Structure 1
Amino acid sequence: MTTSGAKKTWQELLQFPMGKRSAKPRTTGLTMIIDKGLGLGETRDLLNLAGDYIDFFKLGFGTSALYYNEVLEEKIHLVTSHGVDIYPGGTFLEVAVLQDKLRQYLAMARDFGFTAVEVSDGTIDMSLKLRAEAITTACEMGFKVLSEVGKKDPNNEFEIKEIVQLVNHDLSCGASHVIVEGRESGKAVGLYDKDGNLIMSELEELVYSINDATKLIWEAPIKEQQQELILRFGANVNIGNVNPHEVLALEALRVGLRADTLKAVLQRKNRN
């Protein structure tokens, strides 16, 4: 099945209540999904149905190492043929760093056909010098580079000022976007409390302190988190760690085709 030239007739009839979405290839309004083990058939179905709304396809953690080579190559080709960037999870790169095999890791990722990589230190400690080397080397090898800020252990979190410094550092080294840690749970990590609520004071401090908030990808696996980010930043906010089965649900939330954001549109109109 191909979606080339396919029509979406409903969109010719009705306008999106939250406004127009940016079209692919996008630099804002990005959606990054986390894949914990989709088969080839599931991946094909997902991309045929929702490929227009996926920008980054992350093979979570170090799961890339568990695929047979032929399956991994076919999956990567399938994803990239739909105009979606694909990359292995940042924890996988951290393992390579621990074993002093960063360059070999990047070379193998390129050989398999990955189009992007994630540079993170969510579990390990990485010096700024090594972090810069990882980003610049990956850029030189032709990858889109996403970096990540924040620790996976809630007892070892960064202060906002440290996150700001890392964001600015990584962007200056060549990262296209910086991911704000939220894990796949969205609770007791990064800007989320133990119940998964956004700590808005910290979010606002972060946004206020960096030059361009559109360079941030907010990991937000929970629908209420996604809703808050959309209402704060608009339909074209960058959202990551999305469940593959919830891509269309997120897109509907972005454009006001779900009650939660449609209600917000109506409330704004009534105030005006």
Structure 2
Amino acid sequence: MEVTSHLKWNPVLADPTGQRQAKPRTLGKTMVMDKGLGLNAFQDLLSTSSSHLDMIKIGFGTSPLYPLNVLKSKINSAKENGICIYPGGTFLEVAIRQNAVSSFFDMLIALGFNGVEISDGTIEMERRLRNELIARGLEEGFEVITEYGKKGWGSSIELEELIDTVLIDTELGAKLVTIEARESGMGVGIFDNNGKCKDDELQRVLSAIPGQQLLWEAPLKSQQVHLISMLGPDIHLGNISPDELMALEALRRGLRSDTLSLGTRKD
């Protein structure tokens, strides 16, 4: 068998932009939403693309629907590949509604999750409770990701509220604040009813908040292209479909026609 371990792509071909950080990276993180991958598909995702993947969200409240051995296997494999894996924030909202927050955290610890998402996309949550949940997540050793925005159709960003949320959440220790766009990417947050980015709102947000603190949910290719072209490869992007992960990485590096113009190296 021919040995290929010494082979390596010329850097100008592997990353024409010359900007992509290796893991563990602080810029340009990618979060994939897992809405029910089987173990074989999950392992295939990691074997081909783990170096391009920073976070996996077990979508919505699907975590208790898996056989426990399957879920635990996913969690262990993700952690072995340097990936933060956590249940969707909606599941914590369910726990709050059912007065089962302690049980929720107990199971996350027992299963080995290394992240937790704190959101109020569907329920109303007092600032005091949000603070307590962030503190509890950190005390239990989780990487805490919070989320801003409601899931209802037509919901928008209230700039002052967002600024306050990001400042307080990050001061308390949240790693990133996710900007809600749901899995559809339409009619929520910075996206209009057709999924087109509302650039004026985006610029207002970025004029007030450092971009490295924000994770933008952008499930549609057109949104990913627009945001990368506008803000560069180092933008954090989430709610990416597993089968679109490699395609997104190609966009970040200027390896697709949509972002080929980014491929002017600075080194």
Q: TM-score range by the shorter chain?
A: over 0.9
Q: Which residue of 1 aligns with 2:91?
A: 92
Structure 2: tracts of 5 or more residues without a match: none
| Structure 2 CA distance for partners of 1:97 and 1:256, relative to 1, 3 Å | same
Distance 2:129 2:252 in 1: 37
| Structure 2 CA distance for partners of 1:34 and 1:234, relative to 1, 3 Å | same
Please say if residues 178 and 215 of structure 2, whose CA atoms lie closer than 8 Å, have aligned partners that are also in contact: yes
Q: CA deviation at 1:29?
A: 0.8
Distance 2:134 2:85 in 1: 17
Please say if residues 34 and 241 of structure 1, whose CA atoms lie closer than 8 Å, have aligned partners that are also in contact: yes
Alignment partner of 1:76 is 2:79: no
Q: Which residue of 1 aligns with 2:55?
A: 56
- Give CA deviations for 1:117-159 in whole Å, capped at 9, x if unaligned: 1000000000000001111110111000000000000355441
Q: Which residue of 2 aligns with 1:217?
A: 215
Distance 2:97 2:65 in 1: 19
Percent identity between matched residues is: 45
Please say if residues 102 and 134 of structure 1, whose CA atoms lie closer than 8 Å, have aligned partners that are also in contact: no
Report which stretch shifted further, 17-26 or 37-46: 17-26
Alignment partner of 1:258 is 2:259: no
Q: Which residue of 1 aligns with 2:43?
A: 44
Q: CA deviation at 1:104?
A: 2.3
- Give CA deviations for 1:213-255 in whole Å, capped at 9, x if unaligned: 1010000001111111112221111000000001110000000
Secondary structure of residue in 1 paired with 2:136: helix
Distance 1:180 1:129 in 2: 20
Q: CA deviation at 1:38?
A: 0.4
Q: Which residue of 1 aligns with 2:134?
A: 135
**Any residues of structure 2 matched to 1:125-164 within 5 Å, and which?**
125-164=124-163
Secondary structure of residue in 1 paired with 2:20: coil
Please say if residues 23 and 51 of structure 2, whose CA atoms lie closer than 8 Å, have aligned partners that are also in contact: yes
Distance 1:250 1:8 in 2: 24
Structure 1: tracts of 5 or more residues without a match: none
**Any residues of structure 2 matched to 1:96-107 within 5 Å, and which?**
96-107=95-106
Q: CA deviation at 1:81?
A: 1.2
Q: CA deviation at 1:11?
A: 4.0
Q: Which residue of 2 aligns with 1:22?
A: 21
Please say if residues 19 and 235 of structure 1, whose CA atoms lie closer than 8 Å, have aligned partners that are also in contact: no
Candidates 231, 246, 250, aligned match of 1:233: 231
Q: Which residue of 1 aligns with 2:186?
A: 187
TM-score, normalization by structure 2: 0.93
Amino acid paired to 1:36: K
Aligned-residue CA RMSD in angstroms? 2.0
- Give CA deviations for 1:73-118 in whole Å, capped at 9, x if unaligned: 1111111111111000000000011122223211210110100010
Q: CA deviation at 1:7?
A: 6.5
Secondary structure of residue in 2 paired with 1:10: coil
| Structure 2 CA distance for partners of 1:260 and 1:8, relative to 1, 3 Å | farther
Secondary structure of residue in 1 paired with 2:9: helix
| Structure 2 CA distance for partners of 1:158 and 1:225, relative to 1, 3 Å | closer
Please say if residues 177 and 216 of structure 1, whose CA atoms lie closer than 8 Å, have aligned partners that are also in contact: yes
Secondary structure of residue in 2 paired with 1:38: coil
Q: Which residue of 1 aligns with 2:32?
A: 33
Distance 1:43 1:157 in 2: 34
Amino acid paired to 2:91: F
Distance 2:111 2:218 in 1: 28
Q: CA deviation at 1:209?
A: 1.2
- Give CA deviations for 1:151-196 in whole Å, capped at 9, x if unaligned: 0003554412211211112111210000000111000001000110
TM-score, normalization by structure 1: 0.91
